[in-house]
């Protein structure tokens, strides 16, 4: 005579299909003991359910804290972008635009190294010095900012002696009706600019910088 063994899945499916089971057999809740998830003693199924609800509530609380933190960070970045925009709008010359941009990024956003290049511009500023065709091709191929740990040696050279020690970069194309160039932010911290990071604010930064520079070209 064979004995059919009921599997865990069958028990679980039965309880799911018959939610009234424990209502009709309430005394079982007090009789059934299950292992404590964080210890060796046994507890009632009711106590286990309470612990499960507490764990879920704790997870939801942690998620809420993350959302609040993200919201606060976004508010902070938005405020900094607003002040950066005002500085660019008030600039009366191309050197003033660059000075305002550099100050905002280094002092408000705490980015240690910032530089840019614009080409086909007749100006004596270092930012207007010629660049190689490779850099032009690289910039033309950027449909959005590119972040990561690699940058061409030519770009590293823009940072002088610091270039050899930089470990992460954000390459933001400058594209406007009168402007073609590249804004580069860099750090010795390899995790400051990483490939998976969002680029929304970097896009805005590139558009704001391009518009401000184009006023004086």
Beta-carbon-side half-sphere exposure of residue 185 (alpha carbons within 13 Å): 24
Q: What tens digit of pLDDT does each residue of 110-146 get?
A: 999 999 999 977 778 999 999 999 999 999 999 999 9
Q: Are residues 116 and 192 in the same domain?
A: yes
Q: Which CA distances in Å does 99 have to 92, 94, 153, 168?
A: 11, 9, 25, 23
- Domain-located, residue 78: no
Contact 212, 97 (CB under 8 A): yes
d(CA 111, CA 188): 10
- Domain-located, residue 58: yes
- Domain-located, residue 35: yes
Q: Are residues 59 and 116 in the same domain?
A: no
Q: What tens digit of pLDDT does each residue of 57-80 get?
A: 888 888 888 888 777 887 888 899
Task: Inform me whether the pLDDT recorded for 1 exceeds 60.
Answer: no
d(CA 182, CA 141): 12
Q: Are residues 125 and 209 in the same domain?
A: yes
> Residue 81's Cα: distance from chain center in Å?
16
Contact 187, 67 (CB under 8 A): no
pLDDT of residue 99: 97
Task: Inform me whether the pLDDT recorded for 16 exceeds 90.
Answer: no
Mean pLDDT, range 136-158, rounded to an integer: 96
Q: Are residues 39 and 130 in the same domain?
A: no
d(CA 21, CA 42): 22
- pLDDT band of residue 22 (cuts 50, 70, 90) is low
Contact 176, 211 (CB under 8 A): yes
- Domain-located, residue 181: yes
Q: Which residue range(s) make up the domain with 122?
A: 112-214
pLDDT of residue 71: 78
- Domain-located, residue 195: yes
- Domain-located, residue 125: yes
d(CA 68, CA 63): 9
- Domain-located, residue 82: no
Of 7-21, 115-129, 152-166, 191-205, the least confident: 7-21
pLDDT of residue 41: 67
Question: What pTM value is reported for the model?
Answer: 0.70
Q: Which CA distances in Å does 102 have to 7, 72, 84, 197?
A: 67, 24, 10, 22
d(CA 168, CA 194): 7
Q: What tens digit of pLDDT does each residue of 73-105 get?
A: 878 888 999 999 999 999 999 999 999 999 999
- Residue labelled with tokens 């507490």: 54
Burial environment of residue 43 by CB neighbours within 10 A (0 to 12, 13 to 18, 19 or more):
middle
- pLDDT band of residue 172 (cuts 50, 70, 90) is very high
Of 71-75, 163-167, 176-180, the least confident: 71-75
pLDDT of residue 180: 93
Q: How many domains does the chain have?
A: 2
- Domain-located, residue 84: no
């Amino acid at each position: 005579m064979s004995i059919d063994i009921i599997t865990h899945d069958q028990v679980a499916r039965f309880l799911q299909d018959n939610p009234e089971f424990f209502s009709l057999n309430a005394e079982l809740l007090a009789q059934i003991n299950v292992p404590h998830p964080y210890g060796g003693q046994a507890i009632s199924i009711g106590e286990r359910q309470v612990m499960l609800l507490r764990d879920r509530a704790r997870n939801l609380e942690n998620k809420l804290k993350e959302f609040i933190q993200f919201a606060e960070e976004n508010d902070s970045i938005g405020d900094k972008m607003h002040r950066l925009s005002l500085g660019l709008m008030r600039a009366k010359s191309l050197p003033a635009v660059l000075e305002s941009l550099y100050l905002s990024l280094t002092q408000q956003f705490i980015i240690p190294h910032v530089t840019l290049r614009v080409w086909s511009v007749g100006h004596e500023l270092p930012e207007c010095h010629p660049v190689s065709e490779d850099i032009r091709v690289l910039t033309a191929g950027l449909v959005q900012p590119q972040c990561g740990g690699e940058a061409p040696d030519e770009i590293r050279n823009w940072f002088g002696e610091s270039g050899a020690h930089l470990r992460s970069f954000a390459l933001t194309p400058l594209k406007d009706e009168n402007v073609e160039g590249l804004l580069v932010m860099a750090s010795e911290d390899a995790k400051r600019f990483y490939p998976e990071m969002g680029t929304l604010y970097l896009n805005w930064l590139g558009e704001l910088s391009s518009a401000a520079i184009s006023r004086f070209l």
